[in-house]
Structure 1
Amino acid sequence: MTTFLGRHSEPDDHIEQLRWLGHDVRIVSGGEDRESVLDAFATDLALPDWFGRNWDALLDALRDLDPSREAPIELVWDHAGTLRARDREAYDTVVDVLEQVADERDDLNVTVITR
C-alpha cells in the first residue's frame, strides 16, 4: 500500500502514528535529481555495497531490505516534492519502484511525502 501526503496533510503526525503503531519506520529524505535520490536511498537505508545506483538496483535492494524486528516496515520517502517539480519522469519512476516493492512484500508499506 502507498500513502501520498502533501505539505498540508500533517506528515509528521502520520510518521509518529506509524511509530506508535509499532511499525519499523525508515525515512529517506529528498533528492533533487536522479543521482541525489539514489544517493539518498543508499545512505538513509544503508543499502549494501553492491547497490549500483540505478533503478533496477534500487528495486533489487528494496526487495532485499531486511526487517529489523517483527514489525511491518514503513518506508517513508520524505521531501519528494523537489524531485516531482524538477523531474517528473524520475519522480514517477521512484514511485513506480516503491509501489512495485510494496505490492511484492506483505511486510512493507510506502509513504511518499511531497513537501
Structure 2
Amino acid sequence: MRILGDRVDLDGLIADAEEEGRTVEVIPAGATKEESLAAFSEVLNFPEWFGMNLDALADCLDTFARETTNEWELVWDGVARLRESDPKAAAGIESVLADVGADHPKVHMTIINR
C-alpha cells in the first residue's frame, strides 16, 4: 500500500497503472465514515448485504480481490478531510485496505491524502 500527498497527478497515476495492466477503481473519500463507506459500496457495486461497517468493507473487498482475475488498483482519493473530521474512521478504513492489499498480491492499494 502506498500513501501519496496532495500533489499527485491522479490522471497520470491511473494511466501508469493501466499501462502496467491493472484495472483501476477510484473511490472518493467522504467527510464521514458513512459517506466513505457508501462511496466504496457505490463505486464497487457491493451487494445489498453490505453492512456499512469496517468488517463488511473487509469482507466485500476480500471477495472482490479473490474473484478478480487481473491486477487491480484501488485508489482512495481525498482522505485528508476524513482524517481531520474522524481520524479513527480514516485509520480503520486504511487498516482494512492495508490488510486486503497484504493478503492479495494482485491488489494494489493507493491512498491519496489531499
Does TM, scored on the shorter chain, surpass 0.5? yes
Greater alpha carbon shift after TM alignment, 9-18 vs 104-113: 9-18
Using the alignment, how far apart are the partners of 1:10 and 1:81 within structure 2? 16
Residue ranges of structure 2 left out of the alignment (5+ in a row): none
Equivalent position of 2:95 in the other structure: 96
Q: Is 1:28 paired with 2:27?
A: yes
Using the alignment, how far apart are the partners of 2:47 and 2:57 within structure 1? 11
Give structure 1 regions of 4+ aligned residues with deviation exceeding 4 angstroms: none
Structure 1 residue 60: deviation in Å?
A: 0.3
Equivalent position of 2:44 in the other structure: 45
- Asked whether the equivalents of residues 5 and 11 of structure 1 are also in contact (C-alpha less than 8 Å), the reply is no
Equivalent position of 1:87 in the other structure: 86
Structure 1 residue 10: deviation in Å?
A: 2.6
RMSD between aligned alpha carbons? 1.2
Q: Is 1:19 paired with 2:18?
A: yes
What is the TM-score of this pair, normalised by structure 2? 0.92
Identity %: 33
Structure 1 residue 71: deviation in Å?
A: 2.3
Using the alignment, how far apart are the partners of 1:110 and 1:64 within structure 2? 15
Structure 1 residue 25: deviation in Å?
A: 0.6
Using the alignment, how far apart are the partners of 2:110 and 2:102 within structure 1? 13
- Asked whether the equivalents of residues 26 and 77 of structure 2 are also in contact (C-alpha less than 8 Å), the reply is yes
Q: Which has the larger helix fraction?
A: 2
Using the alignment, how far apart are the partners of 1:18 and 1:101 within structure 2? 18
- Asked whether the equivalents of residues 30 and 36 of structure 2 are also in contact (C-alpha less than 8 Å), the reply is yes
Q: Residue by residue, what CA displacement relative to the aligned partner does 1:53-91 show, whole Å, maximum 9, x if unpaired?
A: 111000000000032xx4211011111111011111110
Using the alignment, how far apart are the partners of 1:21 and 1:96 within structure 2? 25
Using the alignment, how far apart are the partners of 1:80 and 1:12 within structure 2? 17
Number of residue pairs matched by the alignment = 112
Residue ranges of structure 1 left out of the alignment (5+ in a row): none
